[in-house]
Structure 1
Amino acid sequence: MMHAKDIMSTPAYTVHADGPVAAVVELLERQSITAVPVTDERGVLVGMVTEETCCDGRRAVPLRATSARARSVR
């Protein structure tokens, strides 16, 4: 059985919630990735920005977790 660690990309890049969108787009292009996690000032995961949301001007995708911290999936 494959696990997420078997297919994940490393290192894990993140962007800060208050960072400029231009920097997010540059990171996506430079690293050839299509999405990046967004963290708050404490490093807590608060959402995702995808290539699609950057291109059409939509807001970052918020987490659907009931708490501010990401839940692990097993």
Structure 2
Amino acid sequence: MSEDDERGVPSEAFREGHDVYVIYSFEDVASHWEHASERVFRRFKGTGRESETVHSNRLFADAQIGGRLATREEYEHY
């Protein structure tokens, strides 16, 4: 997939009962919403590190509007 595919994440994805992974290439960030705990994690491209963030984080909000759904594997290798 390319940046051209980044047109937002349907809100239904967060209600389907599983983890949601989002790639937002514009800011080189990937997000992971963990369904069980409702926590949000992010990783910046190429760092190999993950950190927890808040639901109201601007990058997470922007990713939902302008990013795309990703797989767990894509997230982990971002």
Do both share a fold (TM > 0.5)? no
Q: Which has the higher contact order (CA 8 A, sep 6+)?
A: 2
